Each structure stands twice: as C-alpha cells, then as structure tokens.
Amino acid sequence: MTSRPLSRITIVGGGSAGWMTALYLNRYYNSGATRTKITLIESEDIGTIGVGEATVHSIRFFFAAMGLDEAELMRETGATFKTGIRFRNWKKPVAGQTHEYFHPFEEQRLPAMVDLTTAWFSSDRAQSERYDQGTCLSSHLMAEGHGPKGPSSGPYQGVVPYGYHLDAVRLGRYLRRKAVEAGVEHRVGTVDRVETQGERILALHCNGQRHEADLYIDCSGFRSLLMSQLKQDNWQSFEDALPCNRAVALQLPYPKGASPRPYTQATALDNGWVWEIDLQERRGNGYVYDGNRLSPEQAEAALRAHLGVPADMGQALHLKMKIGCLKEFWVGNCLAIGLSGGFIEPLESTGLHLINLSVRLLATHLNGAEVAQPVKDSYNRLMNGIYDDLKRFIILHYCLSDRDDSPFWRQAADSAKHSPRLQQDLALWQHKVCEFMDLAGSYATVFTDENYRFVLYGMGHTPTFAPIGDPAQHQALFDQLAARVQMALQQTLPHHQALAALK
Ligand SMILES: Cc1cc2nc3c(=O)[nH]c(=O)nc-3n(C[C@H](O)[C@H](O)[C@H](O)COP(=O)(O)OP(=O)(O)OC[C@H]3O[C@@H](n4cnc5c(N)ncnc54)[C@H](O)[C@@H]3O)c2cc1C
C-alpha cells in the first residue's frame, strides 16, 4: 500500500539543528528519483544560540554520511580533536590533590576469560592508578598531548574514537553552505504567524507570504515557536534533578605558550561546573550553574576568578537554559528537533548528538505525507526514552559526589532519587562490575556500560567482591594493554601536529 508522497518539508530555524536536519533530509529524500522540496526559513533578527562547541564521537558518522570532507570541515569550523572529557574537582580533594578522572570515548576489549575491568579490580590496581589509566589508551594519549589520529589515519578514522571541538557559529555557516549547494531552499525572514487547525499547522506566515508544507520541523531553539502553538502542557522539566539552568560563556585567546588540548575540561565549582573547550584559534569557556543560587553577575565573577581573567577581558554571553524535553516531539504535522524539543545540560556535549538521532529516527519513521498515529507514537516513545536515558547518565556525574561544601553539592548528592532506575543500578554496582546487560531495556544511544564504568569508577563508586581469576593472566592482560598504549603513542601525532596537518 502506498501513501501520498511527501512533497514539501519546511524547517523553521537556521541553527545547527535546522541545518543538520535540512542536510540530512535532503540527502535522504533527494538522492534518488523522488523529489521532496526542503525549505529552511531563518530569521535575520533572531540569532542562533552561538554555543555548543564540543561533540561526542558519533557525530563523525553523521558528517561522514553527509559526504563532508573532514579536513575541510575542521578548517572551516576552527575545529580540534576531542578524545574525551577530563573531569576535575567533582569530589573532595584526596591528600591535598584535586580529584580528577578522564571519560574517553573508548574501551579496550581484550580476549580473556575474565574481562579487563574485573581483572583490574581483582588485581587491586586502584592503589597505583586511576581506572581510566589502567583500562584505556585515550587516557595516555591525553596525558602526552596526543590527538586520536596518525599520519595514516583516513578521514573520520582514528587510533581511538574521537569527537570534535568546533566553533558553533562557523559550523552553522558551513552546514548552511553545504545544504544550499545540495539543493535546500533557504529563505530569510521571521515567521510571525503560525496558522493552525487543532493540532495541525495549515501554513506559516513570513515576509507577508503564506507558506504551506506537508511537514513542518520546529528548529527555532528554546522559543519552540511552532510546537508551543500546537499543544499546551507539553513540557517536562528535568530541573528538579538537574538544576543547572543558566550559563555564562567567555571566549578567550590562548594564554601565552598554550596550544589546543585534545580533550574538554569540566571543572566543578561551588554551584555548577566550568567547561574549557579548545578550538584552533581560541579557547571557549563557560560556567554552567544553578540560576536559583547564583545571579548572572556572581556567576560571571566566579568564572573570571576561576580562569584568572580580569573583568574587562572578553565579552561574556549570558544564557538561560530550559532543562527537560517535550512530552510529544511529533504533534500533528509538526516535529521539534534541537533545543525546541529539549535540552539536557551540556556536561557530556550531547546537543548535536540528539539532533543527529532525532533526524535519523525521523527519516526511518516518515513514510509519506500523511503519517499514521502509531508511527508518531513510536517516535515520541523513543525520543522520550532517549532523553530519559541521557538524564540518568548526567545525574550519575552529580549524585556520586562527596562534596558538601555548598548547598548545591549537598543537593546534588541526593539527585539519584529522581531516577529510580539509577538508584537500583547504583545499589547493584556496589556488588558487581557494571556490564552491558545491566542497561538492558534502556535507550542507551551513545553512552553504554563502558561509559558508565568510566564515570562510576572515576567517581569512586566501585564494587566490592572477592578477587576472581588468575593473577598471572590478569598481568598478561595489563602487559598487552601497556604494549597497545606504546603502539598508540607511536601511531598518533601530537595534537598540534595533527591540526597543522589539516592546513
Ligand atoms: C550553554 C550551552 C552549551 C552547550 N554546549 C553544547 C556542547 O558542548 N555540545 C553540543 O552538542 N551542544 C551543546 N549545546 C546545545 C547546542 O548549542 C544546540 O543543541 C545546537 O546549537 C542547536 O541549537 P538550535 O539550532 O536548536 O537552536 P538555535 O541555535 O537557538 O537556533 C534557532 C534558530 O531559529 C531561528 N528562529 C527563531 N525564531 C524564529 C522565527 N520566528 N522565524 C524564523 N526563524 C526563527 C533563529 O533565527 C535561529 O536561526 C549547548 C547549549 C547551551 C545552551
């Protein structure tokens, strides 16, 4: 049975969400004989969010699928490589040392009867090294300032998995150019009226013209311009669990002698945490904080004090964040993608990842101009699952802290109560290693058991069990890993050389 073909899709918003969606759908629908007209309407008067500079590793597959040249993408967006996140100060100092751990995108699976993590705990290696140091390559590359790639790595391939740090504004412009070259129609104008009938959009009004489409995609950012007019009471806030709802961002030149680091740094402060994201020509910094505890002025002062920069250096950008997501992402003939659909604070840099997921899922669900309700229900259920899953993973970073030096951190320690599934898993993981099947039935998209382990054990939530296996076999595993580390160091370039090779 065939349904009426989709002839026209209109996207409102020209931020990363709008252009990623346009690029993907254009490639998906217009590579063959069928033609679906894809139009993107973007306001000149309303800016994009202008932040969102770190990614997870899966974004490489999106860029590759879009046929983008990696070196060109990186040159045009001032991008650097990211092999993970270095977390600092998320627990009390130990013996006067700032608490620290690394969350890479990688896990080593070595063939052995007893897995590497169990061998690591059974060998009591926690006495002499951190979990990430003992179980992956990226941690050592990071320590030596190496990027993920070597001279012989192909596009989008590395010795270890990697994401990027990129300039959000330049990324928007680059994606726009690519999408327009590929045939997406670009209209500049502010949508000033949304004509609706029940839960359907009949037309958009922009520049005095009436604009009709089969499907409308709301990429208008936190405004949620289209969705807000279709359904009331459609928002679920996560701010009880994740109270950081404001940010202040500050772009700065590199301190003398510094060069871009191939990892994001996330340092906890009294009321949230600070990101440091290194691009080719500058460093992006920002304090993500609980706006109920700190004013924007206090937050900016705390950020400047932390970075050691005076009040008159750089122009700070203050942002409000809506933490949560829609209950229904697809209502009638309209969907929300990007910030208009939801946002979970940027701790694990998942904004672009969620856009990638949303648009891929849309493409596999969208089967014609008239979409049956079970299809929309499926999309909504999956998107809710994905957000809920991510919320759980972000809570994990906070709830394991033993910091009690501010009301913010005392509340954070209690935040697992907002995720019964996490509470149950944390109880389990006191007694056994976290494994793939423990997360069965969840919607893990990019963060799976390996990511949970790096955060759990980095934050000291380690299992207690009697040592298992043969110590000599465990040692053989660690020797094998040490050899891989040496090989990875030889195969990869120092980060600054890897960046120079792009030019
Ligand atoms: C503090 C902070 C840090 C972040 N860090 C990261 C990160 O490290 N990694 C990551 O992946 N993500 C991050 N994000 C999320 C990321 O910035 C967004 O997911 C991404 O930029 C997509 O934004 P968007 O396109 O949905 O919205 P926006 O960038 O806000 O774009 C909205 C668009 O809608 C248009 N528009 C609005 N109203 C109208 C109208 N009436 N008519 C026509 N056009 C209209 C605007 O002109 C604009 O083009 C962060 C977000 C915040 C707030």
Q: Do both 198 and 279 map to the same domain? A: no
Residue 238 confidence (pLDDT) above 70: yes
- With 0-12 CB in 10 A as exposed, 13-18 as middle and 19+ as buried, what is 285? buried
The residue among 303, 320, 337 that closes a domain is 320
Alpha carbons within 13 A on the beta-carbon side of 224: 25
The residue among 293, 320, 347 that closes a domain is 320
338 lines ligand 1 (CB under 6 A): yes
Quote the pTM value: 0.96
**What is the mean pLDDT of the segment spanning 182-207?**
96
Q: Mind listing the pLDDT tens digit for each residue in 364-412?
A: 999 888 899 999 999 999 999 999 999 999 999 999 999 999 999 999 9
Q: What is the pLDDT of residue 2?
A: 61
What tokens appear for 183 in the block? 């045939």
* Rounded Cα–Cα distance for residues 85 and 92 (Å): 19
Q: What is the pLDDT of residue 368?
A: 87
Q: Do both 403 and 469 map to the same domain? A: yes
Q: What is the pLDDT of residue 35?
A: 86
Q: Do both 207 and 252 map to the same domain? A: no
- With 0-12 CB in 10 A as exposed, 13-18 as middle and 19+ as buried, what is 222? middle
Q: Which residues span the domain enclosing 432?
A: 112-164+395-495
**What is the mean pLDDT of the segment spanning 62-80?**
97
CA of 407 to the centre of ligand 1 (A): 30
Q: Do both 412 and 489 map to the same domain? A: yes
Q: Do both 207 and 261 map to the same domain? A: no
Residue nearest to atom 37 of ligand 1 (CA): 220
* Rounded Cα–Cα distance for residues 161 and 151 (Å): 16
325: helix, coil or strand? strand
Per the structure, how many domains does the chain have? 3
Q: Do both 232 and 336 map to the same domain? A: yes
Residue 91 lies in a domain: no
284 lines ligand 1 (CB under 6 A): no
Residue 192 pLDDT grade (very low, low, confident, very high; cuts 50, 70, 90): very high
* Rounded Cα–Cα distance for residues 224 and 324 (Å): 13
Residue 12 confidence (pLDDT) above 70: yes
- With 0-12 CB in 10 A as exposed, 13-18 as middle and 19+ as buried, what is 75? middle
55 lines ligand 1 (CB under 6 A): yes
* Rounded Cα–Cα distance for residues 334 and 230 (Å): 9
Can you name the residues that pair with 324 across neighbouring β-strands? 237, 343
Residue 92 lies in a domain: no
Catalytic residue, chosen from 37, 82, 322, 432, is: 82
Q: Do both 359 and 487 map to the same domain? A: no
Q: What is the pLDDT of residue 257?
A: 87
Q: Do both 191 and 337 map to the same domain? A: yes
Residue 1 confidence (pLDDT) above 80: no
Can you name the residues that pair with 283 across neighbouring β-strands? 252, 278
CA of 338 to the centre of ligand 1 (A): 7
- With 0-12 CB in 10 A as exposed, 13-18 as middle and 19+ as buried, what is 85? buried
Please give the share of the chain, as a percent, with pLDDT higher than 90.
91
CA of 58 to the centre of ligand 1 (A): 19
Q: Do both 313 and 202 map to the same domain? A: no
Average per-residue pLDDT for the chain: 95
Q: Give yes or no for a contact between 56 and 444, defined as CB atoms under 8 angstroms apart.
A: no
Please give the share of the chain, as a percent, with pLDDT higher than 70.
99
Sign, CA torsion 337/338/339/344: positive
Q: What is the pLDDT of residue 216?
A: 98
Could you identify the atom of ligand 1 that is nearest to the CA of residue 355? 19
Residue 85 lies in a domain: no
CA of 353 to the centre of ligand 1 (A): 13
Q: Mind listing the pLDDT tens digit for each residue in 201-234?
A: 999 999 999 999 999 999 999 999 999 999 999 9
40 lines ligand 1 (CB under 6 A): no
Residue 52 pLDDT grade (very low, low, confident, very high; cuts 50, 70, 90): confident
Say which residue, 194 or 124, is predicted with more confidence. 194
Residue 65 lies in a domain: yes
Residue 100 lies in a domain: no
367: helix, coil or strand? coil
**What is the mean pLDDT of the segment spanning 490-499?**
96
Q: Do both 137 and 69 map to the same domain? A: no
Residue 58 lies in a domain: yes
Q: Do both 217 and 307 map to the same domain? A: no
Q: Is 82 a catalytic residue?
A: yes
Could you identify the atom of ligand 1 that is nearest to the CA of residue 48? 29
Q: Do both 41 and 150 map to the same domain? A: no
The residue among 371, 405, 437 that closes a domain is 371
Q: What is the largest CA-CA distance in the chain?
A: 77
Residue 134 lies in a domain: yes
